[in-house]
Amino acid sequence: MAIRPILTVPDPVLKQRSKPVEGGVTDVHRALMDDMLETMYDAPGIGLAAIQVGEPLRIIVMDLAREGEEKQPRFFVNPEILWTSDDKKPWEEGCLSVPDIYDEVERPARVRLRYMTYDGKTVEEDAEGLFAVCIQHEMDHLEGVLFIDHLSRLKRESAVRKVKKAERERAL
Ligand code: ZN
Structural domain of 76: 12-171
The enclosing domain of 28 has a CATH number of 3.90.45.10
- The answer to whether position 5 is within a domain reads no
Q: 6 in a domain, yes or no?
A: no
- 86-139 pLDDT, tens digit each: 999 999 999 999 999 999 999 999 999 999 999 999 999 999 999 999 999 999
Helix H or strand E segment including 77: strand 74-84
- Is 1 inside any structural domain? no
> pLDDT value at position 116?
98
Asked if pLDDT for residue 2 goes beyond 90, the answer is yes
If you measure from the C-alpha of residue 61 to the centroid of ligand 1, how many angstroms do you get, rounded to a whole number?
11
Q: What is the average per-residue pLDDT within 64-81?
A: 96
Kindly give the distance from the C-alpha atom of residue 20 to the centroid of ligand 1, in angstroms, as a whole number. 19
- pLDDT band for 171, please (50, 70, 90 cuts): confident
CA distances from 50 to 32, 66, 97, 140 (A): 8, 23, 12, 12
Q: Return the percentage of the chain with pLDDT > 90, whole number.
A: 97
Minimal CA–CA distance to 33: which of 128, 120, 130? 120
Q: Please give the C-alpha separations between residue 30 and each of 132, 155, 163, 171, in angstroms, as whole numbers.
A: 24, 37, 31, 33
pLDDT confidence of residue 172: 82
**DSSP H or E run through 57:** none
Residues belonging to the active site: 138
Distance (angstroms) between ligand 1 centre and the Cα of 48 equals: 6
pLDDT band at 1 (very low <50, low <70, confident <90, very high): confident
> Full-prediction pTM beyond 0.85?
yes
Residue 87: inside a domain: yes
| Spacing, Cα 146 to ligand 1 middle (Å) | 6
Q: Ligand 1 center to residue 23 CA distance, Å?
A: 27
pLDDT at 52 over 90: yes
pLDDT at 148 over 90: yes
Q: For residue 50, is it within any domain?
A: yes
Instruction: Kindly list the distances between the CA atom of residue 36 and the CA atoms of 14, 18, 45, 132, in Å, as whole numbers in the listed order.
Output: 15, 15, 11, 20
The long-range contacts involving 37-41, CB below 8 angstroms and separated by at least 24 positions, are 37/1, 37/61, 37/63, 37/73, 37/75, 38/1, 38/2, 38/3, 39/3, 39/4, 39/6, 40/96, 41/71
d(CA 88, CA 92): 13
How many domains are contained in the chain? 1
Q: How far is the CA of 47 from the centre of ligand 1 (A)?
A: 7
Cα torsion through 143, 147, 153, 157, rounded to 10: -100
Query: What does the mean pLDDT of the chain come to?
Result: 97
pLDDT at residue 18 tops 90: yes
